[in-house]
């Protein structure tokens, strides 16, 4: 059985499981039945990153850096994403959405996955939620293309904007880890429950997780609410602003260029 076939079968089992649980979906552990190469590369990337971090040196992953420059390797990942068939989401997508922004970001924003506007344009966070995200970032001097990169945990749109299934996030995981390794951001801002639960491997809700720094791959990691949640519930704007102030304070202390602007 090919890897996409295995993944589709996994999706089917997940859906059945979800129905048996009355629609409740707990985060599941990483699957071993997705493509072996992907899983191996994700695991080895995490360990290489840890080793390199210990050496305090630049992270270079030889297995996929066909080019001399890290920047063009990022393009290579984007090309792979655009052609990816590792999970069933490829069947319904118009375009995959690899992510966009500056190649040396202060902040990497990680969202859940493309919606209809993103699927149509191939760009992340371009709908209403994206416009609010841009405003939130601008309020603390952050802009995609200048000092941010915007990505998602899944790169193809889940049908009807449903939550991505564990097999889908598992299939996409290595792409995100490779992007993080190359971008090497000073901070990761995780927007919403889904990316935060997946990356921190927890079932805790976003209300509990937001507003506190932890680490992911050795990088300071701050969860906050998803901008679409703020569009639905005005009351979340204040705590989201508190999170942005925390991020700004951290950048002021850690990054002299940011403080000078």
Query: Should residue 114 be labelled a site residue for ligand URA when binding is judged by CB under 6 A?
Result: yes
Region label for 82, one of left (φ > 0), alpha (ψ between -120 and 50) or beta (otherwise): alpha
Closest CB to ligand URA among 115 and 166?
115
How far is Cα of residue 232 from the mean position of the Cα atoms in its chain? Answer: 22
Contact residues for 147 (Cβ-Cβ < 8 A; gap 6+): 102, 105, 106, 107, 141, 258
Among the listed ranges 21-29, 81-89, 108-116, 241-249, the one in contact with ligand URA (CB under 6 A) is 108-116
Work out whether 164 is an interface residue with ligand URA (CB under 6 A): no
Position 185 contacts ligand URA (CB under 6 A): no
* 172/166 Cα distance (integer angstroms): 10
DSSP 8-state class, residue 103? S
CA–centroid distance for 145 within its chain = 17
Q: Which residue is nearest to ligand URA (CB)?
A: 111
Nearer to ligand URA, 88 or 114 (CB): 114
Exposed / middle / buried, residue 170 (Cβ in 10 Å: 0-12, 13-18, 19+): buried
Question: Would you give the binding string for ligand URA spanning residues 127-156, x where CB under 6 A is met?
Answer: --xx---------------------x----
Beta bridge partners of 24: none
> Can residue 101 be called a binding residue for ligand URA (CB under 6 A)?
no
For ligand URA, the binding residue among 125, 149, 221, 225 (CB under 6 A) is 125
The one segment of 16-24, 107-115, 166-174, 205-213 that binds ligand URA by CB under 6 A? 107-115
The beta strands (E) that lie in the chain are given as 100-101, 107-111, 148-152, 187-191, 214-216, 219-224
* DSSP assignment string, 184-234: --SEEEEESHHHHHHHHT----HHHHTT--EEETTEEEEEE--HHHHHH-G
Interaction of residue 220 with ligand URA, rule CB under 6 A: no
Q: Which of 35, 39, 46, 118 binds ligand URA (CB under 6 A)?
A: 118
Pick between residue 161 and residue 202 the one whose CB is nearest to ligand URA.
Answer: 161
Contact call for residue 115 and ligand URA (CB under 6 A): yes
Please state the closest distance from residue 166 (CB atom) to ligand URA, in A: 17
Catalog residues that contact ligand URA under the rule CB under 6 A.
Answer: 111-115, 118, 124-125, 129-130, 152
């Amino acid at each position: 059985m090919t890897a996409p076939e295995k993944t589709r079968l996994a999706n089917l089992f997940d859906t059945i499981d979800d129905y048996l649980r009355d629609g409740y979906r707990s985060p599941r552990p990483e699957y071993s039945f997705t493509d072996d190469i992907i899983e191996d590369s994700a695991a080895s990337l995490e360990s290489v990153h840890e080793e390199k971090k210990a050496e305090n040196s630049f992270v270079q992953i030889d297995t996929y850096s066909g080019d001399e420059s890290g920047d063009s390797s990022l393009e290579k990942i984007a090309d792979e994403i655009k052609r990816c068939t590792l999970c069933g989401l490829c069947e319904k997508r118009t375009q995959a959405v690899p992510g966009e922004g500056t190649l040396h970001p202060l902040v990497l924003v990680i969202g859940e996955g493309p919606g209809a506007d993103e699927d149509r344009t191939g760009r992340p966070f371009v709908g209403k939620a994206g416009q609010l995200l841009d405003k939130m970032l601008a309020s603390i001097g952050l802009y995609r293309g200048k000092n941010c990169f915007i990505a998602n945990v899944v790169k193809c749109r889940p049908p009807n904007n449903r939550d991505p299934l564990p097999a889908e996030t598992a299939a996409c995981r290595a792409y995100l880890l490779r992007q993080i390794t190359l971008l090497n951001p000073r901070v990761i801002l995780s927007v919403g429950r889904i990316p935060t639960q997946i990356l921190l491997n927890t079932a805790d809700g976003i209300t509990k997780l937001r507003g506190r720094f932890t680490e992911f791959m050795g990088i300071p990691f701050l969860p906050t609410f998803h901008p679409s949640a703020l569009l639905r519930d005005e009351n979340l704007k204040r705590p989201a602003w508190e999170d942005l102030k925390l991020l700004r304070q951290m950048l002021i202390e850690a990054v002299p260029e940011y403080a000078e602007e």
